[in-house]
Structure 1
Amino acid sequence: MTVRDELPAVGADFAEFVGVPPGVTAGIAVFDRSTGQFVQQLNADHQFRSASVVKLLIVLDVLWQLGPEYDVPAADRARLEVMLRSSDDDAASYYWDECGGAAIVERMVKRLGLTHTSGPPATHPGFWGYVGITAADTVRIYRYILDRAPVRVRSYVMGLLHQPTRYGTDGFDQYFGIPSVFDPEFSIKQGWSGFLGSSGYRSDRAKPDSLLDLVSDALHTTGTVGVDDRTIVSVFTLHPSGTKYGKAYTDVTRLTRALTVPGAVRTAGSWVVTTGEGVRVRTAPNTSCGILGHLPSGVEVLVSAQTQGELIDVPPRSSDWWSYLPKYGGYVTNVYVGSGAPKLPGVPVRQ
């Protein structure tokens, strides 16, 4: 199979088609491994600060140093697992310091043939989240892992990326974009930076001394979709400083929903906007059961069904209907879902 590595040219029409919101900068690359071609791209060579996506380079560098017949020590196995599955920053910082900082990036750029990836700005040498990277280079990273890396490296890395935790170790919900849209076959390495309390490094609003945007809030979804990791999806976004996490989460997920992704299976349901702060997702349609998690404020979620349960009265809203969120595997009261009607129109009833 001949691999087509150049990107088909698209521009404003595609940006409008996928619905890039005003004020948002997006870099998109979708690569079909079955045909060896890029399916879609937008600003694919535009450099973004990587946030936690750089953890892909970190793990590859660590495994490279161990050698093709590596046996990952127990301590490293624990760090790498939490770094990839739960986007842990302490683990990334440990390896950044231990393995030479920006030298990690320099080594991996040469090994993987990356064209627009660079270390952090000279003003921020210790900030691994400020590594410059592009949507196209991220596709190249996944292609290396899937098609060129030693089998043990591929199995180890992809095995972890296929088992992400719902929340990062910083408490942020990392199921935006790819995992919100596709099911059941996907892998992810997400990135977020700049949102109040987010992981990585907070945007440096005082000294943006770099061509790389260190001020806008960053939210990236990258990974694979489909059986045998058929399609690589890479969506990088920058949002106006101060954007609510739920708003950016929704924007990135909408962009991902609009993409053409060969081999993908999209989770069925209706997309509904939620209201309220820290809305709880529960194991059953009542407040006496367990809590599975909390929704980002004002996020759009997928609802597959609704059922009657405990009456919740929060004036001016009141409802005994609860929505089932398949991506959470739990329920949220309709008081905080939709436009205010006790029962969601057009959503099936679950007995």
Structure 2
Amino acid sequence: MATVTVRRPGSSRLVLLPLTLLAVLFAEVALPGERRAAAGGRWASEVVPAVVAAYGQDGTIAVAVARQQERPSGEPVRGYEARRIRAAGWSADNGAPAATPIPTASMVKLFMAEDILHRSRVGLLSLTRADFAQLQAMIRHSDDPAASALWVRYGGGRMVSDVAARYGLAGTTPPTSPGQWGSTMTTARDLARFLSLLPVVAHPADAGALMVWMRTATPVAADGFLQRFGLFGTAPPLTAVKQGWMCCIGGQRHLHSVGVIGHRVVVLLSAAPRSVSYEAASAALTAAAAALPPPRHS
């Protein structure tokens, strides 16, 4: 039986207020907020068992969902990051599978793009037009040669370590073989946290660029692989998605799909025996994504 773990950040309290004012604030603000949080938590917890059940028995799936955070306009990036870095919003996942490290395949390209844009933003490196073209190709077309060139040029595993530190990704580590970027390890829980916090940790322009590239992912990857599986095969048009696939670490075929649907982050990471074809593995992940119920609240 699938287990579901639901997490929400703790709520702050008002103190030393007159009793009447406190009662008004509680009636007008706290209760609606609690109802919204409870509704969001119910939606999140309903998603996980539905997706796991729809995946089938040919492999294993790690599922994590979260709400993507928003930084209020006008508030400094550093100030908001300091308050929100450890609060990724309510989230739910299927427990141990979502917390177990798994090879990223092309999911690592999200970490690479964010880190390269961040270091350029703070003056640690200068990007050329060719760099920007490779960044875009790496995300939209899942272009492996572009990723390999950027991996070598901008520090390899250091990019993974830097992102893990800035976003608090406890299960994300660089590959043991420095050149094998697809062997970077992460968890469904970490990817959900990363995409949840992206708008508040990254500079708005950098987060926006990454989301646009994800929204304009192409149906066919640079290597000819069909990307319309998982969330890309079921979500509404212009949903921000990233797909990943690889074979065969530990005799396993990995297919991954992540997306931001409205304000909802959904992460689906799967592993199946090598004997399971890409077609069958893709169909299973698409069936899992199709089981997503519509969110009740944005």
Q: Report the TM-score, using the length of structure 2 for normalisation.
A: 0.72
1:59-111 alpha-carbon deviations (Å, 9 max, x no partner)? 11111221258985211111011101000001111111112222221111111
| Residue of structure 1 equivalent to 2:180 | 127
Q: Which amino acid aligns with 2:119?
A: Q
| Residue of structure 1 equivalent to 2:131 | 76
CA shift for structure 1 position 15:
7.5
Pairing partner for 1:251 from 258, 272, 284:
284
Within the alignment, does 1:218 sit opposite 2:246 as a pair?
no
**Contact residue 32 and residue 39 of structure 1 kept, 8 A:** no
| Residue of structure 2 equivalent to 1:22 | 57
| Residue of structure 1 equivalent to 2:107 | 53
Pairing partner for 1:188 from 241, 251, 269:
241
Pairing partner for 1:104 from 156, 159, 179:
159
Distance 1:100 1:185 in 2: 31
Q: Which amino acid aligns with 1:155?
A: G
Unaligned 5+ runs, structure 2:
1-6, 11-40, 70-87
Q: Residues 68 and 217 of structure 1: is their aligned pair in 2 closer, same or farther, counting only changes over 3 Å?
A: same
**Secondary structure of the structure 2 residue equivalent to 1:239:** strand
Pairing partner for 2:271 from 238, 249, 262:
238
**Secondary structure of the structure 2 residue equivalent to 1:19:** helix
Distance 2:231 2:129 in 1: 30
**Secondary structure of the structure 1 residue equivalent to 2:224:** coil
Distance 1:260 1:39 in 2: 14
Percent identity, please.
29
Q: Which amino acid aligns with 2:8?
A: R
**Contact residue 33 and residue 232 of structure 1 kept, 8 A:** yes
> Higher helix proportion, which one?
2
Distance 1:102 1:91 in 2: 16
**Contact residue 66 and residue 196 of structure 2 kept, 8 A:** no
Aligned residues: 239
**Contact residue 51 and residue 289 of structure 2 kept, 8 A:** no
- Stretches of 4+ aligned residues off by more than 6 angstroms: 6-10
**Structure exhibiting the larger radius of gyration computed from Cα positions:** 1
**Secondary structure of the structure 1 residue equivalent to 2:251:** coil
Matches within 5 A, 1:271-350: none
| Residue of structure 1 equivalent to 2:16 | none
Within the alignment, does 1:4 sit opposite 2:8 as a pair?
yes
Q: Which amino acid aligns with 2:196?
A: R
1:252-279 alpha-carbon deviations (Å, 9 max, x no partner)? 01111123452699xxxxxxxxxxxxxx
1:313-336 alpha-carbon deviations (Å, 9 max, x no partner)? xxxxxxxxxxxxxxxxxxxxxxxx
| Residue of structure 2 equivalent to 1:169 | 222
**Secondary structure of the structure 1 residue equivalent to 2:279:** helix
Q: Report the TM-score, using the length of structure 1 for normalisation.
A: 0.62
**Contact residue 25 and residue 238 of structure 1 kept, 8 A:** yes
Distance 1:54 1:218 in 2: 13
CA shift for structure 1 position 245:
1.4
| Residue of structure 2 equivalent to 1:66 | 120
> Higher strand proportion, which one?
1
Within the alignment, does 1:90 sit opposite 2:125 as a pair?
no
1:174-219 alpha-carbon deviations (Å, 9 max, x no partner)? 111112112134111111001xxxxxxxx25xxxxxxxxx320000
Unaligned 5+ runs, structure 1:
195-202, 205-213, 266-351
Query: What is the aligned-residue RMSD (CA, Å)?
Result: 2.9
